[in-house]
C-alpha cells in the first residue's frame, strides 16, 4: 500500500505541476453614473433658471433702490421749495401792508386823497 499511496501522491504533484497557472481574473468595473443624461440636462436647466432668477431679483432690487433714492431727493427738493415759498409769502405780506404802500406812494410824489381810494378784496 505504501507504493499505491506514493503513486497517488506523485500523480497529484504531477497534476499540480502540469496545470497551467491561471492568472487571477481582474474584475472590470463598469462605472455607472448615478444620474442619467436626461437628469443631468434637467439639473443644468434648473441651475440655469435659478441663477437667472437670482440675477433678475438683484437687478430689480437695484432698480427699486435707485427709484426710492430719486423719490427721496424729489421730496427733499419739494420741502425746500415749500420753505422758500412760505418765506416769499411772508415777504409779500410784509411788503404789501397799507402803511408801506402809502409811504412808497408819497415817496414817488403821489398824494393821498381819501376820495380816490377804493378797497379791493381778494
**If you ran DSSP here, which 8-state letter would residue 33 be given?**
P
The yes-or-no verdict on residue 118 having pLDDT over 80 is no
pLDDT score, position 122: 65
Question: What predicted TM-score, i.e. pTM, was given to this entire model?
Answer: 0.50
Half-sphere exposure of 109 (CA within 13 A, CB side): 0
pLDDT score, position 9: 75
- Mean pLDDT for all residues in the chain: 85
Residue with cell 380816490: 116
CB 87 within 8 A of CB 95: no
pLDDT interval class at 2 (50, 70, 90): low
d(C-alpha 54, C-alpha 62), whole Å: 12
The yes-or-no verdict on residue 31 having pLDDT over 80 is no
d(C-alpha 72, C-alpha 6), whole Å: 111
Amino acid at each position: 500500500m505504501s507504493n499505491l499511496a506514493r503513486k497517488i501522491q506523485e500523480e497529484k504533484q504531477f497534476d499540480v505541476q502540469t496545470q497551467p497557472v491561471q492568472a487571477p481574473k481582474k474584475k472590470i468595473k463598469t462605472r455607472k453614473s448615478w444620474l442619467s443624461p436626461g437628469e443631468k440636462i434637467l439639473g443644468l436647466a434648473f441651475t440655469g433658471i435659478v441663477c437667472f432668477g437670482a440675477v433678475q431679483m438683484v437687478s430689480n432690487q437695484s432698480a427699486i433702490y435707485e427709484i426710492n433714492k430719486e423719490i427721496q431727493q424729489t421730496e427733499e427738493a419739494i420741502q425746500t421749495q415749500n420753505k422758500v415759498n412760505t418765506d416769499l409769502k411772508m415777504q409779500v405780506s410784509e411788503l404789501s401792508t397799507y402803511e408801506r404802500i402809502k409811504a412808497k406812494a408819497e415817496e414817488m410824489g403821489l398824494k393821498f386823497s381819501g376820495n380816490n381810494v377804493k378797497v379791493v378784496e381778494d
